[in-house]
Amino acid sequence: MIYSLYFMLKNCFCFKIGSSRKNRRRNQRTQRKRSLFKIQLSRFRRASPSSGENPRIPSRTREINGPDTSQKLHEDAQTAGIARGRLGFVAGVINRERIPAFERMLWRISRGNVFLKQAEIEEALEDPSTGNLMNKTVFVAFYQGEQLKSRINKVCTGFHASIYSCPNISQEREEMLKNVRTQIEDVTLVLNQTKDHRQRVLVGVAKELQNWTVMVRKMKAIYHTLNMFNMDVTKKCLIGECWVPVTDIPVVQKALADGSSAGGSSIASFLNVIETNENPPTFNRTNKFTRGFQNLIDSYGVASYREVNPALYTIITFPFLFAIMFGDAGHGIILFLFGLYMVVDEKKHMAKKSNSEIWNIFFAGRYIVLLMGMFSIYTGFVYNDIFSKTMNIFGTSWTANSTYLEVDAHQEIQLNPSYDYVGEPYFIGVDPAWMLASNKIIFLNSFKMKLSIIFGVFHMIFGVCMSVVNYAHFRHMEDFFLLFIPQIIFLCLLFLWMVVMMFMKWIMYTADMSEMAYGSSCAPSVLIYFINMMLFSQNDHDPDCLEYMFEGQGTVQLIFVLVALLCIPVMLLGKPFYVMSSRKSQKKASGANGDVNQGMELQPESASDIAQSAPRHEEHEEHEEPISEIFIHSAIHTIEYVLSTISHTASYLRLWALSLAHAQLSEVLWTMVLQMGFMDGFVGSVALFLIFAAWAALTVAILVMMEGLSAFLHTLRLHWVEFMSKFYKGEGYIFQPFSFKVILQEEVEAD
């Protein structure tokens, strides 16, 4: 092969340089040889039966000698023609793209003395080594002389052409063709049967592939878990340590007994509860309703073992605080219908297993969305707001007692609640008459701002009270007296008192002018009262109004501020001094008791005793902090709590701000978009149809989705920072049980 390649390259790139006369002589000799080759080839065709013509033998001779004699004469004539022309041929198959170079190479090595005949194979053939489809061409090369034959064979080898032997006698060629066709039919039959058998096998495998995949993954998980077991001394049993929920211990014991009986093991499996100093994982049993709220809490941090879980209270507080900021009955209905759609068809959506991450997030919190929509409908009725419009369901108690002349003379009429307000207050929420007032924003701002402070203070007080559950469970009663009591007193005497003053203002001051001191014109500012209380300053008031809402209010406020300030050193120094005194008492007790043997007997401890006592000693040293760090931690926590009570109270004003922004955006979309379509005639109906589509799209995109996402994030911040920071540490780690469902789901997500 190497020699052939060398010969091919040598003939391709080596050229003889001569004079023009020599070239002309050489061309003349080449033309004479080509003419002689054509004459010999024509004689060969006339003599050979492969040319399609029989030798011209008289019919009378055929009749006399018979068919055998005719065939013999035919072969003799063919042999005589070959001997007379001395021509041979090489037949084979080559790749179609190599034909031009192959033909050029044959021309060069033979100097034009090779006649090449080719025919393309229409059907693409499959390469048995690679399986790729290839287009090939059949060729026949006629030559003269054995030396030229060897050259042609080397060229065919160099071009990776497949050479096939072809007999010179027609009968042998026909016999070979017949045999080849028979082999082709046999091979085709075998291939078809093989394809049918492979198809049946693959169909059967496809039916069981999913089950086999599940079985393999389960076995892999089982063996992976068994690899974490330890071998006992006899090397016949496996011992594994794991965490099990206390309520599930009977279930695990029954499963072990059933597995031993089903496996036919002579040694029954058993479960023993052991004592350990390790911190157990946290396991909160949830269902499809509570799982979404638990995920919100776990995103902040997994609760420590046996720590109070705020997810139960978040089920109510989270959608309620969201609804305060998203207070619109119309938008709440859209949100509620979306959540209801996901809840009703949850089985169908769970079976689909969508790959959209956004949809999976919404679907995981479908019950949160449902409750947020329900609470938003409720707050929308309280605000009397549905798509920025009011609802007069129960009838307003305001009446306009003005004449037509007064109405024509003034663009605005001021209603006096003393005689323009008759009857009972509106049954639920804001009176619809306020939605037509020019001072609507001022009234709603004051109402919503006070409402946000009230709910914020009660939310923080509830968070501080939740710390009592942790103190009682972990038996940290010193924290109850030295942390909880001063914290709750500080919070209530300052900020709860501000909330109480709001209710006192709403109850004590009315529009009745019978008593001027408690009229609407003398209603004090609660914020000014609170600021003056903290700064120990007096209130500026009109001569006709009272300085305080009741007698002795200044003294009460002074006492509240002094007691609140006294709570700060208790929070700052109470815990460190208690730790110092407890450590001193422990040292005195250990020094007075001494050793029982008084050092007279020294008995060495066994390795098991050392192993059992070592973890406890390490745990004791780990929890025993230096007293300086305790002072530092106490100072940090005290400063953080005192400052956070102020900042967190102000942070709840976001309830008012987002509610105001949501209402104003809704009103802008109504007046600037939908109201443009309220025109008469056919044009007005068409315009209203198009404008309503634009208004609906903007409402869903901006007010429901964007504003809803903003309110959701602000509500999440209020729970994580303002509420849970009062009692929740979140320093645990999640309990991950062995579950085939979780393992298979993770494998599917990985694929």
Half-sphere exposure of 279 (CA within 13 A, CB side): 11
Give domain status of residue 435, yes or no: no
Give domain status of residue 324, yes or no: yes
115-141 residue pLDDT tens? 899 999 888 888 777 878 888 999 999
Q: What percent of the chain has pLDDT over 90?
A: 47
Q: Same domain, yes or no, for 162 and 299?
A: no
- pLDDT, greater one: 186 or 589: 186
Domain that holds residue 121: 2-47+87-168
Q: Which two tokens stand for residue 647?
A: 């900042």
Give domain status of residue 408, yes or no: no
| pLDDT tops 50 at residue 545 | yes
Domain boundary pick from 148, 168, 188: 168
Q: Same domain, yes or no, for 308 and 450?
A: yes
Residue 360's H or E segment, with its range, is helix 357-364
Q: Same domain, yes or no, for 525 and 657?
A: yes
Q: What is the mean pLDDT of residues 18-44?
A: 50
* Residue with token string 């108690």: 397
**Listed range (43-52, 428-437, 702-711) with the worst mean pLDDT:** 43-52
Q: Residues with Cβ < 8 Å from 87, sequence gap 6 or more?
A: 40, 41, 44, 142, 143, 144
Give domain status of residue 731, yes or no: no
CB atoms < 10 A from the CB of 180, how many? 11
| pLDDT tops 70 at residue 237 | yes
239-287 residue pLDDT tens? 889 999 999 999 999 988 888 888 777 777 888 888 888 899 999 999 9
Query: What pLDDT sits at residue 81?
Result: 46
Query: What pLDDT sits at residue 464?
Result: 96
Give domain status of residue 532, yes or no: yes
Determine the angle formed by the axes of helices 99-110 and 2-13, rounding to 10 degrees: 80
Query: What pLDDT sits at residue 408?
Result: 67
SS3 assignment, position 711: helix
- pLDDT tier, 588 (very low <50, low <70, confident <90, very high otherwise): confident
Which range has highest mean pLDDT (158-167, 442-451, 581-590)? 442-451
Alpha-carbon distance values, 457 to 460, 497, 499, 507, 526 (Å): 5, 10, 8, 20, 15
Query: What pLDDT sits at residue 29?
Result: 62
Query: What pLDDT sits at residue 647?
Result: 95
- Integer Cα distance of 570 and 576 in angstroms: 10
Query: What pLDDT sits at residue 415?
Result: 80
- pLDDT tier, 596 (very low <50, low <70, confident <90, very high otherwise): very low
Q: Which two tokens stand for residue 265?
A: 């093991």
SS3 assignment, position 120: strand
- Integer Cα distance of 707 and 711 in angstroms: 6
Q: Domain holding 17: CATH number?
A: 3.30.70
- pLDDT tier, 590 (very low <50, low <70, confident <90, very high otherwise): low
Number of domains the chain contains = 2
**Listed range (57-66, 197-206, 244-253, 579-588) with the worst mean pLDDT:** 57-66
Rg (CA), the chain: 50
Query: What pLDDT sits at residue 668?
Result: 92
Alpha-carbon distance values, 31 to 37, 111, 144, 331, 574 (Å): 10, 10, 16, 97, 122
Give domain status of residue 530, yes or no: yes
Q: What is the mean pLDDT of residues 715-720?
A: 96
52-91 residue pLDDT tens? 333 333 333 333 334 444 444 444 444 444 444 567 888 9
Query: What pLDDT sits at residue 54?
Result: 38
- Integer Cα distance of 60 and 639 in angstroms: 133
Domain boundary pick from 150, 168, 186: 168
Domain boundary pick from 168, 198, 229: 168
**Listed range (156-160, 205-209, 439-443, 746-750) with the worst mean pLDDT:** 746-750
From 370, 276, 292, 287, select the one nearest 332 (Cα to Cα).
370
Give domain status of residue 618, yes or no: no
From 654, 665, 668, select the one nearest 711 (Cα to Cα).
654
Give domain status of residue 517, yes or no: yes
